[in-house]
Amino acid sequence: MNMTYFSYHTHSSFCDGKENPEDYVKEGIKKGMRAIGFSSHAPLSVAVVWAMKASNLNAYIREINQLKEQYKDELDVYLSLELDYIPGISKDFSEWSRMAGLDYTIGSVHLVKAEKEDDFWFIDGPDTNYSEGLERLFQGDIQKAVSAYYHQVIEMIETQKPDVIGHIDKIKMNNKGRFFSEEEAWYVELLHKTLDAVEKSGSIVEVNTRGVYKKKSQKLFPGDYFLMECCKRGIPITISTDAHQPKELLEHFEECRKSLKQIGFEQITVFHKGEWIKESI
């Protein structure tokens, strides 16, 4: 099977995306995509503007399943959720999968749990969220804050076993070299601890292009060092554009594929007829 175009991480108007799911499907067909997976941010008990409302979950499931059937002869449509992991707060991924009938799960961390039970470090969004949360919740201690992020990611991998791990090093996005260097020994050690957890889990690492094409990051999520280690260890990867608009469905896809080949990857993992399979990159 020759590698074609796909993306399994897509946000529609059911969460913080801009258009209805069918608009993405139609654009995907125009772009010659083989598959599109919808992955709205799952409802959270924490009040955030970017997650799906619990009251809309059933409508979301119905609509994606309807599109699956309606467009089955033109491209594969899959039902997923991007599931945030917050220890002691978020619902188990297996429960989401069973309840919603998901084809696969994407696990991510956007809200880092601090010592205060009811407050979180939001690592996405504007730079000011990052710096303000760092000061307020971690007293400006970047090593403590970033360690909390990776330990939460590791706990998610070990306890929730997501099929795909979303933008695993997104913690770097709003750093922009201000608070730490990715070459510092303590940071590299955290990457290796995370890699150890991924390797044991069998989860797939998503190579997410959104930071690059939105000009929020100079490097992919994850960056070159992490990807080189994935290649050495035989950790499976897939490409995601994390589209929030139909026009973003294949943004930076080809550039990403070329970068992965340069790193040394020969195969990529794709979802096909209910299972993850390897194909040539």
Q: Which residue has the tokens 């979180």?
A: 120
At residue 32, what is the residue type? G
Residue 74 sits at φ, ψ, to 5 deg, of -115, -35
Mean pLDDT of 154-159: 98
**How far is Cα 232 from Cα 244, in angstroms, rounded to an integer?**
32
Q: Which residue has the tokens 């989860």?
A: 203
pLDDT digits (tens, 9 = 90+) for 10-35: 999 999 999 999 999 999 999 999 99
For residue 156 the two structure tokens come to: 């998610």
- Answer yes or no: pTM beyond 0.75: yes
Q: How confident is the model at residue 3 (pLDDT cuts 50, 70, 90)?
A: low
Neighbours of 247 (CB within 10 A): 14
- The reported pLDDT for the residue numbered 115 is 79
pLDDT digits (tens, 9 = 90+) for 165-209: 999 999 999 999 999 999 999 999 999 999 999 999 999 999 999
Contact residues for 30 (Cβ-Cβ < 8 A; gap 6+):
none
Task: Supply the angle between the helices 127-138 and 142-160 in degrees, to the nearest 10.
Answer: 100
Mean pLDDT of 135-158: 97
CATH topology of domain 5-280: TIM Barrel (3.20.20)
pLDDT digits (tens, 9 = 90+) for 53-109: 999 999 999 999 999 999 999 999 999 999 999 999 999 999 999 999 999 999 999
**How far is Cα 222 from Cα 209, in angstroms, rounded to an integer?**
9
* DSSP for 185-254, written as a single string: HHHHHHHHHHHHHHHHHTPEEEEE-HHHHTTS-SS-BS-HHHHHHHHHHT--EEEE--BSSGGGTTTTHH
Alpha-helical runs (H) found in 51-184: 57-70, 93-100, 127-138, 142-160
Mean pLDDT of 121-142: 94
pLDDT digits (tens, 9 = 90+) for 239-272: 999 999 999 999 999 999 999 999 999 999 999 9
Instruction: Say if residue 2's pLDDT is above 60.
Output: no
Domain ranges of the chain: 5-280
Nearest partner of 83 among 70, 98, 62, judged by Cα? 98
